Structure 1
Amino acid sequence: MLFNRNNSYGDIIPPSDTRKLIMLVKKLLTDVVFNMASLEGNPFTYPEVQTLLDGITIGGHKVSDEQQIYRIRNARIDWSLIL
């Protein structure tokens, strides 16, 4: 074996900072929701998804499209527990 992994290589797995991870999840949440919704043919733009996830409603769209955004956000992972 060319490489033996042991505790002397502490820099292989960086220590996780909880605050950094929460900020990363908050940033990636909008990206993931927008990408999944656009793959489903949802007409919401990225800024509209951001606004909707911040709790402000968007005019000019179907309620079903808005509900799809909410369902994607709440799918399998309850993001509100993390955020």
Structure 2
Amino acid sequence: RDLLKAKMPKLPKKGKDSALTLKIFAMERKKKEVNRVLNLKSAILVKSEVSYLEYIEMRSEMERLKALKDTFVRRIEKLKQQAN
């Protein structure tokens, strides 16, 4: 029980701050998931032999995921500025 309490951040009591905090946590979760997928795709490219077509498809998907991750980072920064 103590471990769960230690990991969970305390949410502010204010309604607006609470909503912003929840949005920030949601964006951070999405960013982590995109980062996880990017790491998996990178590992696949490094460890296995893929055809040129598969390589091109994976590279374009990874570029899209990197752009998505950057978007999440910018949104998180904006939300944190609004929260302060």
Question: TM-score band (shorter)?
Answer: 0.3 to 0.5
Q: Which has the higher helix share?
A: 2
Q: TM-score by structure 1 length?
A: 0.36
Q: TM-score by structure 2 length?
A: 0.36
Report 1 or 2 for greater relative contact order, CA contacts < 8 Å, sequence distance ≥ 6: 2
